[in-house]
Amino acid sequence: MTSPKPRADAARNREQLLEVATRVLAEPGAETSLRAIAREAGVGIGTLYRHFPTRDSLVEAVYRDQVDRLTNGARDLLADETPAVAMRRWMDLFGHWIATKNGMLDTLPTLIESGAVGHAHTRDALLDAISAILDAGRTAGDLRPDVTPEEIAAALIGLFTVAHQSGHAVTADRLLDILLDGLRPPRGT
């Protein structure tokens, strides 16, 4: 037996809570109390607790939502953009995901240890999304054929780590543009 479909207002409230929690978790030093998240989402604390009974359940939902956005984002971007443009925009999504994870660092290890969040599953899903863009780029002649999804993932993780640590001296946007230039096939090939 399937569970009943949530009412439209309940679904809207849940989405609003996820949106606000995602934004708040990505902001360094932001107020991350559940009460502050509920207030900013325009709902009462009871509504938040009906959807997410614990802080861990909210963080898990934000994490899963962000992974879904990343994996589905690759397909959606490829439907509307050239592979090179899709890759660059997907890199921005990845950066947002990394920023959001920074606000979850106190909770994520517990979720991973308990099995609520599968690190291997997340890794595989992200590599599949990168593969889809790379494959389309190879077919279109937009992206180099000798680059692996693992190399892209490692480059992005390193890039966002450096951009975060260096303050304003090096911007993530500039580094992403340089990375994308390196992913293009050499001219004349």
The structural domains of the chain, with segments of one domain joined by +, span 1-53, 56-183
Per residue in 78-101, pLDDT (tens digit) is: 999 999 999 999 999 988 888 777
Fold of 56-183: Tetracycline Repressor; domain 2 (1.10.357)
Indicate whether 2 pLDDT > 60. Answer: no
Indicate whether 189 pLDDT > 60. Answer: no
Are 30 and 24 in contact by the 8 Å Cβ rule? The answer is yes
Q: Supply the pTM of this predicted model.
A: 0.77
Q: Give the C-alpha separation, 135 to 149, whole Å.
A: 10
Per residue in 15-39, pLDDT (tens digit) is: 999 999 988 887 776 667 899 999 9
Whether 1-53 and 56-183 share one fold: the answer is: no
- The highest-level CATH class for domain 1-53 is mainly alpha
